Structure 1
Amino acid sequence: MSTIKEVKEALLKETEWKPWMEELEKDNRQGIKNALKQWHHRKEKYDQLVSEHKKKLAFDESFRAYPHALIAGTDEAGRGPLAGPVVTAAVILPEDCPTLIGLNDSKQLSKEVRESFIEKIEQCAIATSIHFQPASVIDEINIYEATKQSMKACIESLAKKPDFVIADAMTLPIDLPQQSVIKGDAKSLAIAAASILAKTARDHYMEEIAKKYPEYGFEKHAGYGTKQHIEALNQYGPTEIHRKSFEPIKSMILQKG
């Protein structure tokens, strides 16, 4: 007879019901009953992730005009912060990628989960691209246009030319068939993958730039307008990576003449 520990370890390895589990249903040990209950709970959550994964694949598939056409998804991170670049990513995925089950809009996943998906996306993807649009360009042409141009650069730098582009809430100046999708990172696997790459790349950048400007706490708020960030701005003024066209920075500069 297996120990409760051995049963738990065996159950952790399984995502589908196996014949040997039928014996566990006859086991009267409370530890076994609890372990089996926990397995069913995990299975239910996993099945839900698989269902959502299939829906995202089907959504991307709907834009494939012919078999094996390459579909690129693109998304951004960092349109709202007061400092740092807006970062965009583009991803072309194969027609199926089981290792990406559970992939979702980056805002819906913890930092740890986002980080765990980076390598999986890079290994699975047919092509990926990331572009950083600096604050200086954002100030020059506005955040919307800067994001659009960054996405365009991302798409054009992919190692494989896509046959169709799905963009998250953006129509791009590209000579390719495309579709703008509201909340696309929750509907498309390709856009969700791009969302993860853009978000993690931007977070890593802000963590590194925090070493140059430690007084601003960029590693904590990533440049967003938190109370700590505003207080640092009032005390030290804006840096070269701050967006001078964004409030309250714009007013701070005007007040100082």
Structure 2
Amino acid sequence: MTDETPAPPEAPSGRSVLVTGGNRGIGRAIAEAFVAQGDRVAVTTRNGGAPDGTLDVRCDVTDPEAVEAAFRTVEEAHGPVEVLVANAGITHDTLLLRMSEEDWSSVIDTNLTGTFRLVKRASKGMLRLKRGRIVLISSVVGMLGSPGQVNYAASKAGLVGMARSMARELGSRGITTNVVAPGYVETDMTGVLTDEQRAAIKQQVPLGRYASPQEVAGAVTWLAGDHAAYVTGAVIPVDGGLGMGH
């Protein structure tokens, strides 16, 4: 007689990765980089358009219930989130004296408070697993400041304090928390600048060019990989030397 006992199901390959705001620009490149590594990648979007090979999860990070629902969806499909990349963010640029309460609160609630909601929920599963990687996407603006971006700079600088506090709280459980701070990147957001504005920006950057989204993604996947297992509480600038590591 032949043994017809069915073989046990294969364990899913790769890690469960969640990238917020992953339908375009930097977030899309990050999601695609994790897919290329063989990870199981979920992407949050507001209106769809996630990259091929990812799970498209609709989520508004300013809504606590939507964040909870998104995590439940990801956990059912891919298991507990092992890598969180908090990338979702908005801008409402204007000079300080013209900045309305809504201009301020909407940016802070999305970029800073929204990230708080994400990392708090993700850390619950990571604590049970006794491992995890959290990467927050900040900006060189959060280090250097920028006229007309008081709200945005404050939100992005706040991510550094958040990450370093979490690194101290969660490190003993095998969870790393780091920040990637991109400079000027070739995305839809920078594509609206005039040629004169683009030239002026490049003059400030020692490398004399913009970054590609893929270069930012490379820093993120490194922080989430084995070679960065002893890196936590770090701020990795991907800015062509603009901020000089501030």
Higher relative contact order (CA 8 A, sep 6+): 1
Give me the TM-score of the superposition, normalised by structure 2: 0.24
Larger radius of gyration: 1
Q: Which is helix-richer, 1 or 2?
A: 1
